[in-house]
Amino acid sequence: MADQPQSNRPPRAWHWLRRWAVRGIALGLAALVIVLGALAITIVRYGATDRARPADVIIVLGGGDEGTARRAEHAAALYHAGYAAHVLCTGGVSAGGTLIEAERCAQVMRAAHVPAEAITLERGSRSTAENARATAAIMAAHGWRDAVLVSDDFHLWRARWLFERQGVRVYPSPAQGTSGPLAPSERVYAVLREIGAWGWGEVRAQLGR
């Protein structure tokens, strides 16, 4: 009796496994899109509300040259409206030229007639997480208990979360209340970057960093 030719077709179990693997990947990607979409909506909605209220200090987060100037102008408006008697300009990243963000902020504040003696600088931080830690120490040293937190609208959700992790009570206020909205393309890019920064921050937190 002649031997039966062997089939080159993969076992049926392999077809089943491959089909379910493809379905699992598709479902995972769909879930990821839903989660990221929900996070983007949360970031946008949170930043749309101005939560400023009277506090001990106004904190201005650095954001490069243009971003820092925009945020400082809003902080100056809050200062003149009587929200706080002190302003804390933050950030050790270059803001263009020879100035770092904290110095650029102070420059804009002085130009807006905020007294130099009302301005404190935090020059060492290079990220929002570092900024929150440094600011918590400065506030404790001055006896400041709460703060109006000024940044761009897309940044406020993550910034508030990082500051509250350090035990700092903040009242977020978007710079767009003074400057007006960002261009749509800039806004989309900023929100996507915030999602990435939040995810990377969570990874670092889980690794104990």
Residue 105 pLDDT exceeds 60:
yes
Cβ neighbours for 154, distance < 8 A, ≥ 6 positions apart: 43, 44, 47, 182, 187, 190, 191, 194
Average pLDDT over residues 80-95: 96
* Distance, C-alpha 202 to centroid of its chain: 13
What pLDDT was estimated at residue 147?
A: 98
Closest by Cα among 146, 83, 85, 73 to 112: 73
pLDDT digits (tens, 9 = 90+) for 88-101: 999 999 988 889 99
What pLDDT was estimated at residue 7?
A: 54
Delineate the domains of the chain, giving CATH numbers in brackets: 47-206 (3.40.50.620)
Average pLDDT over residues 165-176: 97
The side-by-side arrangement of strands in the sheet containing 87-90 is 119-122, 87-90, 57-60, 146-151, 169-174
40 pLDDT band, cuts 50/70/90, is confident
What pLDDT was estimated at residue 192?
A: 85
What pLDDT was estimated at residue 39?
A: 75
Percent of the chain beyond pLDDT 70?
Answer: 78
Burial pattern 49-73, b for ≥16 Cβ within 10 A else e, equals ebebeebbbbbbbbbeeebbbbbbb
Q: Which residue has the tokens 């959700």?
A: 157
Please indicate, yes or no, whether the overall pTM of this predicted structure exceeds 0.75.
Answer: yes
Among 9-13, 169-173, 196-200, top mean pLDDT goes to 169-173
Average pLDDT over residues 21-27: 64
Average pLDDT over residues 185-200: 80
157 pLDDT band, cuts 50/70/90, is very high
What pLDDT was estimated at residue 1?
A: 47
HEC per residue, the chain: CCCCCCCCCCCHHHHHHHHHHHHHHHHHHHHHHHHHHHHHHHHHHHHCCCCCCCCCEEEECCCHHHHHHHHHHHHHHHHHCCCCCCEEEECCCECCCCCEHHHHHHHHHHHCCCCHHHEEEECCCCCHHHHHHHHHHHHHHHCCCEEEEEECHHHHHHHHHHHHHCCCEEEEEECHHHHCCCCHHHHHHHHHHHHHHHHHHHHHHHCCC
pLDDT digits (tens, 9 = 90+) for 123-154: 999 999 999 999 999 999 999 999 999 999 99
